Structure 1
Amino acid sequence: MPGTNLTRDEAATRAALLDVTSYSIDLDLTTSETTFGSTTTIRFTCAEPGSDTFADLVGAEVHEITLNGRSLDPATAYADSRIALPGLEADNELVVVADCTYSRTGEGLHRFVDPADDRVYLYSQFEVPDARRVYTTFEQPDLKAPFTFNVTAPDHWKVVSNSPTPEPEALADGKAVWRFAPTKPMSTYITAVVAGEYHEVQHVYRGKHGDIPLGHYCRQSLVEHLDVEELVKITEQGFDFFEAAFDYPYPFGKYDQLYVPEYNMGAMENAGCVTLRDEYLPRSRQPRSFYEFRCSVILHEMAHMWFGDLVTMKWWDDLWLNESFAEWACYHAEVEATEFTDSWTGFANARKQTGYRQDQMPSTHPIAADNYDLRAVEVNFDMITYAKGASVLKQLVAWVGLDPFMAGLQQYFKEFEFSNSEFTDLLRSLEKASGRELSGWAREWLQTAGVNTLAPAFELASDGTYQSFAVRQSAHPDWPTLRRHRIGIGLYDEVDGHLVRRTSIETDVEGELTEIPELVGQLQPDLLLLNEGDLTYAKIRLDERSLATGIAGLSKLDDSLARALVWGAAWDMTRDAELAASDFVDLVLANIGSETDAWGVSRIPTYALLAVNQYVAPEKRAAVRERFEAGFRELMLAAEPGSDQQLTFARTFAAVAHTDAAIADLEALLDGGLEVEGLAVDQDLRWLLITALAVNGREGMRIDAETRADNTISGQEHAAAARASRPTAEAKAEAWEIAMVRDDVPNETQRSVVLAFQRVGQDDVLAPYVEKYLGAAETMWEEKGTARASTALEFIFPKQLASQELLDRVDAWLESSSANPAAQRYVREGRADVARALAAQATDAQ
């Protein structure tokens, strides 16, 4: 039985048979607090009259099905999430009357009641295949059609969809109906309905192609945190840039951005109706990296309006292209159009690292994954899709040139507007614009998995110059592809206490060994940096002299992107057990205080914390933890008052605090006994400090007291995380029920508990959960669904209990398990992290 799955072959068969003329969808959001009315009318043609097909609808109570005036019995026609449609005519009309169920897990139509004021908020989330949880669909991206939504709701609500919001028509009993105009042709997954007691602010962007109404929405309890002027500024900068760069006017009329609660994703590119996590409206002070990331999210979703919404992939095989392109485009736009001009540095320090990590997992896959059905899409929708894909597109831009790349995109948008395409269509446009053959490039980069490593290979003459110089390329034996790379090579010398670039070259690398004759005769620099400019996607290695230079004085390097490459190389070498974790910790302690890149400041301490907790040899760990704790206390106190460094160092100090003196400092920060000039102990920092005390079993009555003072959904989520962090058997048992068993817990609360469950230094109370975890992994995917299961299986894996015994137990489970392949994937990934940690510990022990 197919259930909620759909194969690529089934979709292709249905697409060849049908052409969808229109959808008309009537939703009644006033029927109850658990379900809503859904009536769908689909008009479509059939290329082969007399054929059979099916429509999609998940988890509904179907009351009526009418096909071309014929009544179909729901008891027989609706089964296994499909509606059988027999005996089609050339022109068809399907009407389905049903009740659908509100979601509490972020899929379909999510319903949320704000504990701060009991106001109700709804929003839809349909990617990849969840529009069918709200209305009857042909749930595949290549059956585009115009959509007409008619929504009945309480008359004091706001109702927003893909078309401009009309004036509501009053009904009896305090209800009203909003009749939206038909949309442009679009795929089901980018349709949207958002409704509830939202706060609304309207502006208008006046561009060279005409006016675009801009709406911003949030919960009433977050109005004071809606920094709408900044959000409008970024939105207008984005439209200025993209309309010019793509040479195509924004295609969907108006542009609403709605900040919604309990959101599983960062944001979603619904056409003209973008939904975003309302955590992007912070209630407490955040570092610059937060706002840089928020800007990238806003621009990412805007880029999708052209790439994904205007032109849509035929099938989910090319989902990577949607996301990779939007990811590359958002950073490109940030650099060119906003105040965040160093965003590629932040990308290198943070986002790109997630791609490297995912690509070295046993579950790695080509960027262009073989998504033969919807289940494969769910598994392959990861940071290879986003971070590696964007990195590879950056390499493509370096390969063909920015102007030809943009010219190819402009032609592509015009040729495939409001229709569907495949990657070969884009490749053809880029080849035509650039004059370069790209099919070979695509095979190397998109159809193979794994990351290459680039290392310098040279001999020195007696005078200290390079007698020979080459770049050696290697690959993991399981993913042995050696690729063509366009890279920069930078030579840096120490001059007056600074590492200054003497010269740089840009060259192509191909095969195992590429000679670089331009460097022969150059004096060996203090720092040799491969991949200068971060043009390609590859790990780089530092030669012995360059590594010593970096460890001794990385802060002497003024160029932030060059520093990011050195940080990244050192971290890669640590993860690959080539550099002792203790040395990486020392590198961070010595240099992070001088780091200026926002993402470097906020992300690199988390790498160091991982090194302390998992990569340092067990016999050294206590001493290194104390050194790290003391070091970040000093960094916090020495940082400029009110700076990002001060805030990040305070958070890191809290995360590692474990000695009596450090715990006393946390208590004093909370109670006002310790004041650090410029450090505001606001609501979010208070929760972080309380949670740090809870990890150490020193929270007392603070969690309950803080929950009473912070009666918000954020407060409830923080409180749940703090309780899950406590080092007692009772606390872990309660947290396990919330994270892995109960179905009545909101998705974000469950996620908070999952992320807080595994804590360093709690081995005794966590050891029994190894078997419980493996037992739950057998059935969790089917029982809890994709969103909950993936989060739980990834983050409750007991990585901090790293040992050979754990590896052996997991191996035995993997050999015998009949769990869903997606669940097994997360177990394999956890196992890989443990194996990596053990190898790093062995290196650190030497």
Structure 2
Amino acid sequence: MPSLTRDEAVARAALLTVTAMDVDLDLDRGAEHFGSRTSIRFTCREPGASSFADVRPVALHAATLNGRVLGPDDLVDGRLALADLEADNVLEVEATMAFGHDGQGLHRSTDPADDEDYVYGHLFLDAAPRVFACFDQPDLKAPYTVAVDVPAHWSVVGNGAAHQVSSGRWRLATTRPLATYFVTVCAGPWVSVTAEHDGIPLGVHARRSLEAPLREQAEQMLATTRACFDGYHRLFGIRYPFGEYHQVFVPEFNAGAMENPGCVTFRDTYVFRGAATPDQLLERDNTIAHEMAHMWFGDLVTMRWWDDLWLNESFAEYMAYRTSAEVLGAPEAWVEFGMVRKLWGYAAERSPSTHPVAGSPAPDALSALQNFDGISYAKGASVLRQLIAHIGDDAFVAGVRDHLGAHAFGNGELAEFLDAMSRAAGRDLDGWAQAWLRTAGADRLALDSDGVLTRSTPAAQPASRPHTLDVAAFVGDDEVLRHRVVLDGDQVDVPGVDGLPADALVVPNAADLTWAEVALDPRTTEALVGNLADVPDPMARAVVWTSLLGGMAGAEVDPRLVLDVVEAAWPREDDASVLSRVSLVVTSSVVPLFLRAEEREEALERVAAAADVLADRAASDGGPAADALALVAARVWARSGSDLDRLHRWAAGHDLPASLGGDDDFRWLVLRRLSALDALDDAALGAAEAADRSLAGRLAALGVRAVRPTAAAKQWAWDRLHDDPDLSNYAALELARGFWAAPDPALVRPYVGRVGDLLAHLDTRMGEDALSRVAVALHPKGVVEPASLEASTAMLGRDDLSPGVRRALLDEDHVLREALASHARFA
């Protein structure tokens, strides 16, 4: 079906204004289909003109325009032709729609724990026509009035306050104007915890089988919600405008969360079934803050077209981390930002698919999905931090308030935002915006022993970006130098560097204030093994880790050095985000991609040994902080250890750290490692499945089967991906993530050239958003060989893969090239 082009959207918005949307959904027709009735009231500026509405039904039963019957020939490729429009119009459409199983549209999922079904709407980016007839573009906003029929024991949550009017019949209050992609309905036998704060009704909801952890964790989540509301009300000067505020934790969600006004949806793994580390709690708090920030950036003021996606995501990203640090009392949030989000963003910046923060071409809606990445999130947030350094925080906040007030319940774009900021700052910002927002690429910062800080700019993306940053130096656990500098040319002198001791670790951008690759000087790099753990500033340590891992990706740092630093410094780390992210990158990337196959077993043993050192440290330290260290150590050991006796004891629940007793998710992690070592028989796996009938357990079991290093297991996983028409988005992702795990590449080498055909086949039953995520996991980069690169290149040349899938494959192709370059240089 054709994707709406920007030109078509501009023309339709110039012609039409939508004044009211009435949607009636019947979700009580079984597991596959639902009924949809829509009444759209809209005006036309040129009576007699023609346009079209968007609708993608299984069956179109009736459609009338101003009482005139539209025939089946009027619906072509999801577009319903509307001819001879009047000044005021009513379009009525009745259709049967299909539930989605790929996380898009109205997704329906069965919880195997109790066989109950749950439905939620995820209408981003262009899935709304799979639910109701509409004009599906972000600048045709309208108030929605929604009614829903559901099984009698279900409840309903949506954008407007929901009220049950009879058995199985619910009505939702009419909303303020919403873009189509924000509309949602969440229906099922939810468990709910409700509260109220500052006149705003609050609710958190999850599946029945998650009742115990939801009730246990609800107050912490609601406390975060209350604090964020207070913080944003103070900051923006505009009260939350969308009535009630519900947060629904839904199954098989493609993203982390979605900012539907009044009814935010989250992936339900944020309701922790077992023990949670501090960084997991921080991530959940930050996600709550991020989605709430969208109530102003994205929902109150929505981008006019998808090329201004950054106006949503960069702002929500920055505001969430600012709020986590300043309002929630978690300054370590900025460490997590550097270790998790910026690592993601720098990888996107290195890829050939890199693009500017703002104004990236989006000729149609689907092409915009390709830029929904670490640049729009992490780089955009970093650029906003640089904007604040450039104009001051008071001017920034004043500009934000101006922009929100001027475009409330409407749409905005980059030029209008810059105008607001320029007025607040009292200066023209177009040159700054050209360098930071409209030009792709990351500068490279390097400091020599004489104290000269040099900026180099990518030759393919020339720009003069001013950087406000600091430089710090450490000797042992002492900070011996810190200077704040403004680099607005090619270089600047940093006082005091030339007099530092020979063993000093010197860290440019130590507070991680700017967006740039940091090249550590050779003396600092050589000293990391012995000295990194002593650096007292966790932010500076995070910058060093990011630099080290980025240098490895660029074939400038030997992955064996990374492993040496992990072995020496990681077990002495205190920051939870550094501990978790470094260990994950090492076990998921450094070892399986950047080391040769014959080195990986020994490398994993070294990682497991480092986890044991961390566990011993936790045991000797004692206290709540030690419990978190012990939890991280156990998880890392379970991903890397090969002591079968210990793994079997842990799988049986024996000799576990105290916080992991009865933790089903940890048990599945152990079983996955046993399966990867071909030390798990079918009987033990079957017993584990019987003991954990949850959705998480069912999915974990798929991954456990897929990682088993046998020809039969790989064939089973491949066939299941290809042949199972009922495979959900999460199930496909689990199988793909486990498939390439193999101690001997020969086991999976026969499949390398077949990935493109499989993805093309899956495209017939999965939406682009879901399939793009599967494509990332299914790319054959796990077999780091020239033949895999040949196969990857051939895939990129195909014409039967969607733009989003091609973009995902292009990024993974770049990762494979990075790994091959590292192998070639450091073999």
Out of 641, 648, 651, the residue aligned to residue 667 of structure 1 is 648
Q: Deviations 1:611-654 (Å, cap 9, x if unpaired)?
A: 22222355644543433333333433443366222222222222
Give the secondary structure class of the aligned counterpart of 1:643: helix
Give the secondary structure class of the aligned counterpart of 1:639: helix
Match of residue 440 from structure 1: 431
Quote the Cα distance in structure 1 between the aligned partners of 2:798 and 2:161: 54
Match of residue 563 from structure 2: 585
Give the secondary structure class of the aligned counterpart of 1:100: strand
Out of 398, 408, 419, the residue aligned to residue 428 of structure 1 is 419
Quote the Cα distance in structure 1 between the aligned partners of 2:423 and 2:169: 50
In 2 relative to 1, CA 22–201 (structure 1 residues): closer, same or farther, beyond 3 Å? same
Out of 756, 762, 765, the residue aligned to residue 774 of structure 1 is 756
1:230-629 alignment, distance < 5 Å: 230-368=220-358, 369-459=360-450, 469-494=451-476, 498=477, 500-511=478-489, 513-516=490-493, 518-519=495-496, 522-523=499-500, 526-609=504-587, 610-617=589-596, 620-629=599-608
Match of residue 186 from structure 1: 178
Normalised TM-score (structure 1): 0.93
Match of residue 97 from structure 2: 100
Structure 1 residue 553: Cα displacement = 1.4
Kept in 1, the 8 Å contact 2:733–2:773? The answer is yes
Out of 675, 678, 688, the residue aligned to residue 706 of structure 1 is 688
Out of 58, 76, 79, the residue aligned to residue 60 of structure 1 is 58
Structure 1 residue 590: Cα displacement = 0.8
Unpaired stretches in structure 2, ≥5 consecutive residues? none
Give the secondary structure class of the aligned counterpart of 1:36: strand
Match of residue 90 from structure 1: 87
Match of residue 160 from structure 1: 157
* More off after superposition, 218-227 vs 549-558: 549-558
Structure 1 residue 674: Cα displacement = 4.3
Match of residue 463 from structure 1: none
Normalised TM-score (structure 2): 0.95
Structure 1 residue 475: Cα displacement = 3.7
For residue 346 of structure 1, what is the amino acid of its counterpart? E
Quote the Cα distance in structure 1 between the aligned partners of 2:597 and 2:154: 57
Structure 1 residue 731: Cα displacement = 1.1
Give the secondary structure class of the aligned counterpart of 2:340: helix
Match of residue 187 from structure 2: 195
Out of 100, 106, 109, the residue aligned to residue 109 of structure 1 is 106
Unpaired stretches in structure 1, ≥5 consecutive residues? 460-468
Q: Deviations 1:638-696 (Å, cap 9, x if unpaired)?
A: 433662222222222222234xxx22221122235545566536211110001101111
For residue 514 of structure 1, what is the amino acid of its counterpart? Q
Quote the Cα distance in structure 1 between the aligned partners of 2:466 and 2:409: 35
Give the secondary structure class of the aligned counterpart of 2:423: helix
Kept in 2, the 8 Å contact 1:474–1:482? The answer is no
Quote the Cα distance in structure 1 between the aligned partners of 2:531 and 2:270: 36
Kept in 1, the 8 Å contact 2:103–2:770? The answer is no
Structure 1 residue 139: Cα displacement = 0.2
For residue 445 of structure 2, what is the amino acid of its counterpart? L
Out of 214, 231, 234, the residue aligned to residue 202 of structure 2 is 214
Out of 81, 103, 124, the residue aligned to residue 121 of structure 2 is 124
Quote the Cα distance in structure 2 between the aligned partners of 1:474 and 1:454: 7
Give the secondary structure class of the aligned counterpart of 2:168: strand
Quote the Cα distance in structure 1 between the aligned partners of 2:168 and 2:664: 39
Quote the Cα distance in structure 2 between the aligned partners of 1:825 and 1:671: 43
In 2 relative to 1, CA 815–786 (structure 1 residues): closer, same or farther, beyond 3 Å? closer
Give the secondary structure class of the aligned counterpart of 1:569: helix
For residue 693 of structure 1, what is the amino acid of its counterpart? L
Quote the Cα distance in structure 2 between the aligned partners of 1:824 and 1:148: 38
Q: Deviations 1:792-825 (Å, cap 9, x if unpaired)?
A: 2211112221122332343355456664443333
For residue 443 of structure 2, what is the amino acid of its counterpart? N
**1:10 equivalent in alignment to 2:8:** yes
* More off after superposition, 12-21 vs 643-652: 643-652
* More off after superposition, 588-597 vs 471-480: 471-480
For residue 185 of structure 1, what is the amino acid of its counterpart? P
For residue 541 of structure 2, what is the amino acid of its counterpart? R
Kept in 1, the 8 Å contact 2:768–2:802? The answer is no
Match of residue 633 from structure 2: 649
Quote the Cα distance in structure 1 between the aligned partners of 2:492 and 2:609: 46
Aligned alpha-carbon RMSD (Å): 2.0
Quote the Cα distance in structure 2 between the aligned partners of 1:708 and 1:270: 36
Quote the Cα distance in structure 1 between the aligned partners of 2:596 and 2:731: 34
In 2 relative to 1, CA 543–683 (structure 1 residues): closer, same or farther, beyond 3 Å? same
Quote the Cα distance in structure 2 between the aligned partners of 1:479 and 1:441: 15
Quote the Cα distance in structure 2 between the aligned partners of 1:65 and 1:673: 64
* More off after superposition, 759-768 vs 402-411: 759-768
Q: Deviations 1:310-346 (Å, cap 9, x if unpaired)?
A: 1111111111220111011000000011142210011
For residue 40 of structure 1, what is the amino acid of its counterpart? T
Kept in 2, the 8 Å contact 1:670–1:681? The answer is no
Match of residue 151 from structure 1: 148
Match of residue 738 from structure 1: 720
* More off after superposition, 576-585 vs 642-651: 642-651
In 2 relative to 1, CA 767–521 (structure 1 residues): closer, same or farther, beyond 3 Å? closer
Work out the number of aligned pairs and report it: 816
Match of residue 462 from structure 1: none
In 2 relative to 1, CA 217–826 (structure 1 residues): closer, same or farther, beyond 3 Å? closer
Give the secondary structure class of the aligned counterpart of 1:699: coil
Q: Deviations 1:46-94 (Å, cap 9, x if unpaired)?
A: 0000000000011331111111111111x11112101100000011111
For residue 206 of structure 2, what is the amino acid of its counterpart? C
For residue 811 of structure 2, what is the amino acid of its counterpart? E
In 2 relative to 1, CA 779–360 (structure 1 residues): closer, same or farther, beyond 3 Å? farther
Q: Deviations 1:585-617 (Å, cap 9, x if unpaired)?
A: 111111112211111011111222222222235
Q: Deviations 1:501-552 (Å, cap 9, x if unpaired)?
A: 23322222234x3122644765457122111211101110111222233321
* More off after superposition, 394-403 vs 637-646: 637-646
Quote the Cα distance in structure 2 between the aligned partners of 1:517 and 1:670: 55
Quote the Cα distance in structure 1 between the aligned partners of 2:246 and 2:4: 31
Quote the Cα distance in structure 1 between the aligned partners of 2:555 and 2:169: 62
* More off after superposition, 630-639 vs 365-374: 630-639
In 2 relative to 1, CA 429–747 (structure 1 residues): closer, same or farther, beyond 3 Å? same
1:722-761 alignment, distance < 5 Å: 722-761=704-743
Match of residue 717 from structure 1: 699
* More off after superposition, 82-91 vs 477-486: 477-486
Quote the Cα distance in structure 2 between the aligned partners of 1:816 and 1:232: 48
In 2 relative to 1, CA 746–623 (structure 1 residues): closer, same or farther, beyond 3 Å? closer
* More off after superposition, 571-580 vs 515-524: 515-524
Quote the Cα distance in structure 1 between the aligned partners of 2:283 and 2:246: 20
In 2 relative to 1, CA 582–527 (structure 1 residues): closer, same or farther, beyond 3 Å? same
For residue 235 of structure 2, what is the amino acid of its counterpart? A
